[in-house]
Amino acid sequence: MSGSQEAAQGADIVAVVRGSPVTDVPKDLYIPPDALKVFLEAFEGPLDLLLYLIRRQNLFIIEIPIADITRQYMAYIEMMGELQIELAAEYLLMAALLAEIKSRMLLPKPVEASDEEEDPRADLIRRLQEYERYKAAAEAIDALPRLERDVFEVSVDASAIEVKKIYPDVKLKEVLITFQEVLRRAERSSSHQIHREPLSVRERMAGILARLRGGILVPFSELFQRQEGRPGAVVSLLALLELGKERLIEILQDEPLGPLQIRAAGGADDG
């Protein structure tokens, strides 16, 4: 916000014309041409301008002195036209409406319809009243305490809060069903053969590789668990042979008939 604007805010400025604030709307019709444009731009439309003209004279809307108001309104419009300032079509439409109302009021009323005849101003009065009501409502809304201006939302850091992650439930059956779908597809394409090694061998292969992580050397014998008995030993042996065949491990022997040592293929650099 610039300094000049801030200073100007103290006074009731209506507009800033070429840098100088205009602090009051002129009382009479003479308005400097530059100011007139700004002045008119301050209105939200013909209804707003009419309301201003009425209220300036301290009148009720229902008492709208149509001749007087029409004259003033037309004077503004004509000045705008002379200055070749482009006017929104709505202003011209309102000028036409006012002229029509004025002419209807000048016409002598037909005798037979005197009671029924609606005041030609009635519709305009209704519109002005309705517009003024919403104009006031807009001001009321603007005056409500609002976020970011009057009151402020709060928030504090919540990084100390440990957030548990919730995982979806999965049933084994779902896994198997989707796997069957994979098998079905594989069968159809038939280019992919799914090996039929017993599962326990595949898992043991993964288990052995997990033990060999970090490129460590593990003695062959340590890969067998006594408590698993003979079937376990067979599974481990098959797994080691399969790993060897797939070149996933290296089997080392320092000397003939020496102890066998196993490590992951790729050696010690393995992370």
Partner 1 sequence: MADVALKSIIEAALLAAGRPLSLADLENLFSEAERPPPEDFQRAFAELAEDCRRRPVELKQVASGYRLQVREAFSPWISRLFEERPGRYSRALLETLAIIAYRQPTTRGEIEDIRGVAVSTNIIRTLLERGWIQAVGHKEVPGRPALFGTTPEFLDYFNLKEIGDLPSLEALIDQLDQPSLDALQQPSQASSDADPQSSQQTP
CB 125 to partner 1: min, Å: 13
CB 65 to partner 1: min, Å: 13
- 71 or 202, CB closer to partner 1? 202
For residue 261, the surrounding DSSP H or E stretch is strand 260-264
Within the chain, what is the greatest distance between any pair of CA atoms? 136
12 C-beta neighbours (distance < 10 Å), count: 10
- 89 or 107, CB closer to partner 1? 89
CB 89 to partner 1: min, Å: 9
How far apart CA 113 and CA 110 sit, in angstroms, is 6
* Alpha-carbon separation of residue 249 from 98, 202, 241, 246, 267 (angstroms): 99, 14, 9, 8, 9
CB 114 to partner 1: min, Å: 28
- 113 or 128, CB closer to partner 1? 128
How far apart CA 119 and CA 62 sit, in angstroms, is 11
* Region of 210 on the Ramachandran plot (φ > 0 left; ψ -120 to 50 alpha; else beta): alpha
- 83 or 136, CB closer to partner 1? 136
CB 180 to partner 1: min, Å: 6
- 153 or 255, CB closer to partner 1? 153
Residues in the chain: 271
